[in-house]
């Protein structure tokens, strides 16, 4: 019978999980930095408080009992929940003091982060980001696997089981060679895009599929044989007259200060936009701070880039 006067402690649950994983009291005590008699005594007390036998012990070794197997996942869940609770409490009390792995597409990162990270560092001087660039589909997979702690990625196509905070909407600009017949126009009639050669990135990028949809809608011809590996290569191919390209507004703002050989324009009465969001796993122990971080991102972007993008308001 369980002893109602004794409640299992978190330390006892930690010891139980350690023995369950090693099935060896000596090895578990070494990992826990305690003596083997102390470990054995705490497991016995845990069994007495529960009124159950958690391990079967014999000369051949130690194994989990059926009751032990049933309780192991519950014990692990309790310990994980307590770890998350302590992490959130520490961040609330002291602020973040860690390095987060941040994933972002190469079509966005170099043109957004230089405007944001320096100010974040001023606000959180102990906070660091290890930034890696990858295509959105790879970012999603990496976030699932734990390769990233959080990602900034296009809102379209974001998995439903992530926690997602919309950040801003970015326009796509039509970029033509200065020798193109339409290079004198600020606004291009949609019908004039029919039959035009359009360059884009490789299809692993979400950006490719958005441009493909635009071409299909307007009757433009996507140049699949000349897909670029980066926005800079697209830009150079446009300069050489190989076609026109849709380029992100942040790229145009960051990299095309004096585009003598290029002309930047828009399609009349047809804004072409892409939305970006910050996302993280719903089990992340830092999820409370990540919501605060999303708000910081929006505030900084609004202060520094509101003439380029439209910041999402909650």
Q: Indicate the pLDDT class of residue 91, thresholds 50, 70 and 90.
A: low
SS3 22: helix
Q: How far apart are CA 53 and CA 47, in angstroms?
A: 6
pTM above 0.95, yes or no: no
What is the average per-residue pLDDT within 244-254? 93
**pLDDT band at 301, cuts 50/70/90?**
very high
Query: Measuring CA to CA, which residue among 206, 203, 108, 202 is closest to residue 158?
Result: 206
Residues of each domain in the chain carrying CATH 3.40.190.10: 99-168+274-311, 170-273
Most confident of 189-193, 268-272, 301-305: 301-305
Rounded Cα distance between 117 and 192, Å, is 40
Percent over 90 (pLDDT), the chain: 62
Reported as a single tens digit per residue, the pLDDT across 150-175 is: 999 999 888 888 999 999 999 999 99
- Compute the mean pLDDT over every residue in the chain, rounded to the nearest whole number: 89
Question: What's the rounded mean pLDDT across residues 67-74?
Answer: 94
Is pLDDT at 259 greater than 80 in this prediction?
Answer: no
Beta strands in the chain (DSSP E): 55-58, 61-64, 99-104, 128-133, 150-154, 162-177, 187-188, 197-199, 221-222, 244-248, 262-267, 273-281, 310-311
Residue 1 has pLDDT above 60, yes or no: no
- In terms of CATH architecture, what is 10-94? Orthogonal Bundle (1.10)
pLDDT category of residue 61 using cuts at 50, 70 and 90? confident
The pLDDT of 247-266, averaged and rounded, is 86
- Which segments of the chain belong to CATH 1.10.10.10? 10-94
Please, what CATH class does the domain formed by 170-273 belong to?
A: alpha beta
Confidence bin at 261 (pLDDT 50/70/90) = confident
Strand, helix or coil at 246?
Answer: strand
CATH, domain 99-168+274-311, list 1.10.10.10, 3.30.479.30, 3.40.190.10, 3.40.30.10: 3.40.190.10
pLDDT in tens, 30-41: 989 999 999 999
Each residue of 206-216: pLDDT tens digit? 788 888 998 99
pLDDT of 313:
84
260-269: average pLDDT? 88
Structure confidence at residue 290 (pLDDT): 93
Which of 47-61, 117-131, 201-215 bottoms out in mean pLDDT, i.e. has the lowest? 201-215
Higher pLDDT, 3 or 147: 147
Q: Taking 60 as the threshold, does the pLDDT of residue 203 lie above it? A: yes
């Amino acid at each position: 019978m369980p002893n109602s006067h004794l409640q299992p402690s978190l330390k006892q649950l930690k010891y139980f999980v350690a023995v369950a994983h090693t099935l060896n009291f000596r090895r578990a005590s070494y990992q826990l930095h305690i003596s083997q008699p102390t470990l054995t005594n705490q497991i016995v007390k845990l069994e007495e408080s529960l009124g159950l036998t958690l391990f079967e012990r014999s000369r051949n070794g130690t194994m989990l009992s059926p009751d032990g197997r049933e309780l192991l996942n519950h014990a692990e869940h309790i310990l994980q929940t307590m770890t998350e609770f302590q992490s959130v409490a520490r961040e609330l009390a002291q602020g973040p003091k860690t390095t987060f792995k941040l994933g972002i597409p190469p079509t966005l990162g170099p043109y957004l982060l230089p405007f944001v990270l320096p100010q974040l560092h001023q606000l959180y001087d102990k906070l660091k980001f290890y930034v890696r660039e990858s295509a959105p589909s790879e970012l999603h997979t990496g976030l699932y696997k734990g390769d990233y702690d959080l990602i900034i990625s296009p809102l379209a196509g974001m998995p439903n089981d992530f926690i997602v905070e919309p950040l801003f909407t970015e326009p796509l600009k039509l970029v033509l060679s200065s020798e193109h017949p339409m290079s004198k126009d600020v606004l291009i009639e949609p019908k004039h895009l029919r039959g035009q050669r359009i360059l884009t990135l490789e299809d692993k990028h979400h950006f490719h599929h958005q441009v493909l949809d635009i071409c299909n809608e307007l009757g433009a011809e996507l140049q699949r044989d000349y897909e670029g590996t980066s926005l800079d290569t697209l830009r150079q191919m446009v300069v050489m007259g190989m076609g026109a390209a849709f380029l992100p507004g942040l790229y145009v703002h960051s990299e095309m200060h004096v585009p003598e050989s290029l002309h930047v324009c828009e399609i009349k009465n047809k804004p072409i936009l892409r939305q970006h969001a910050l996302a993280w796993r719903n089990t992340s122990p830092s999820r409370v701070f990540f919501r605060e971080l999303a708000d910081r991102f929006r505030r900084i972007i609004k202060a520094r880039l509101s003439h380029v993008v439209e910041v999402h308001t909650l």
